[in-house]
Structure formats: C-alpha cells, structure tokens
Amino acid sequence: MRTNRLRAAVSAAVMLLLFCVFTLVVATVDVQPIGPNGSSVGLAAINGAFARLIGTHPAWYTITEWLSIAIILVPLCFALLGLRQLIRRRSLLRVDSDILLLGVFYVLVVLCYVGFDHFVINYRPVLIDGVLEPAYPSSHTMIFLCVMGTAILQIRRRLARTPLCRILTVFLSAIMIITIVGRILSGVHWLTDIIGGVLLAATLTLFYHAATFKPVKRNRKRL
C-alpha cells in the first residue's frame, strides 16, 4: 500500500514538474503577436500552424459547454453523499476522509482556475462575445478532467469492480475524451492551452489519488 501511495505521489510530482516546465516554455519561447487584437502567444509557430489546420467549429464549442453540466452534477452527487454520511454518523470527523478531501480538492481546482485567470500566459485565438479572454491552461479542460478523474477514482473504490463500476468508468472516460477532442476542434484554444490543462489536471488528480489511496477490495460496495 505504501509503495502504491508513494508511486502515485512521485507520479504527481513528475507531472507537476512537467507542467511547470511546459508553462515556462509557453510563456517565454517563440512569443509573437499572432492572437486577436495583436495579443502575444508563446510557441507561436506551432500554435499558429495548428490553429490554421483546425479552424473554428462553433458546434463543438456548444457541445463541450453543454457537457459542462457534469462539472456541477458530479460534485453535487459527492456533496450529497458526504451529507448523507454526516447525518447518519452524526459527526463531521466520521465522514469518509476521501470525501472530505474531495471537497478540499474542488476548492484547490477553483483556486487554480482563478489564479490563471489573473496570471495570463496566453489569450484565446478567438474573441468570445467580442472579449479577449485568458486561455492558458484551458480551464474547461482542467476542471472537467479533475472532476471526472476523481469521480472515476471514487467509483472504483466504492463500487469495487462491479459491472456498474465498469460501465460508469467507461462512460466517464468517454466523456473526458469527447471533451478534450471537442475543445481542440472548437478552435477556442491554442494547442498548448489544451496540453497545459491536461498536465495540470493530471497533477492535481494524482496528488488527490496519493493523499487518499486505499487498496480496492473486490466486489465490495462502500457508500
């Protein structure tokens, strides 16, 4: 168990290092004013070429925006689970620690979102309702992967490899893939925005996994 926890922590640290290095590269290498209103963009040659190749597809943007409903519904489900435990066990300290830490995790994700909204690395390749918005890392990608990734961890622990566990895992994984692909095809982000969002989400999710790691027991439900 300690080995697996350490492995998860090391993986999280490696992802954090990759994210920091990648962010530094995006912020300093090949920065050119290729964005709307002359906004500067890092790795301009790569980002510009990819943007011209992909173009913009508003339909994909709409699809990914609708999928964002899951960002609200999934945390709400776990909040209700925590509330149920609190009512039944009559003590906040008796609520499962991984549920409590999940609440802390959500707060951390929001802080990352707010932080990068103020510490601008790149702006979007298109104007949204006539406004130039921060783009790096893709907050939509980051938040969605964090919420879905931790949801899969919770499902695998609580439903313990039951058929329902497998169905939900495949379903949530499919939604994550559709979101990433849809966000890329929509054209509202540079390629580096998506990569940064994936790296940050992986970092945060792996740290949560390391902090809450427990061995999965076969065919056991724990709600």
The half-sphere exposure of 130 on its side-chain side, counting CA atoms within 13 A, is 0
- Pull the structure tokens for residue 136: 């790096």
Q: Of 45, 186, 193, which Cα lies nearest the Cα of 120? A: 193
Cis peptide before 137 (omega within 30 of 0): yes
Q: Tell me what pLDDT residue 220 has.
A: 45
| pLDDT tens string 39-51 | 999 999 999 999 9
| pLDDT tens string 58-116 | 898 888 888 888 888 999 999 999 999 999 988 888 888 899 999 999 999 999 999 98
Q: Tell me what pLDDT residue 221 has.
A: 46
Cα(101)–Cα(202) distance, integer angstroms: 17
Residue 119 has pLDDT above 90, yes or no: no
Cα(189)–Cα(213) distance, integer angstroms: 34
Cα(102)–Cα(150) distance, integer angstroms: 8
Long-range contacts of residues 96-105, Cβ cutoff 8 Å, at least 24 apart: 97/212, 98/154, 98/157, 98/212, 98/214, 101/208, 101/211, 101/212, 102/78, 102/150, 102/154, 102/208, 102/212, 103/79, 105/146, 105/150, 105/204, 105/208
| pLDDT tens string 172-207 | 999 899 989 999 999 899 999 999 999 999 999 999
Q: Is the dihedral of CA 110, 180, 210, 207 positive or negative?
A: negative
Cα(31)–Cα(39) distance, integer angstroms: 10
Q: Is the dihedral of CA 23, 27, 31, 34 positive or negative?
A: positive
Q: Tell me what pLDDT residue 223 has.
A: 54
Please give the biggest Cα pair distance in the chain.
58
Cα(190)–Cα(183) distance, integer angstroms: 10
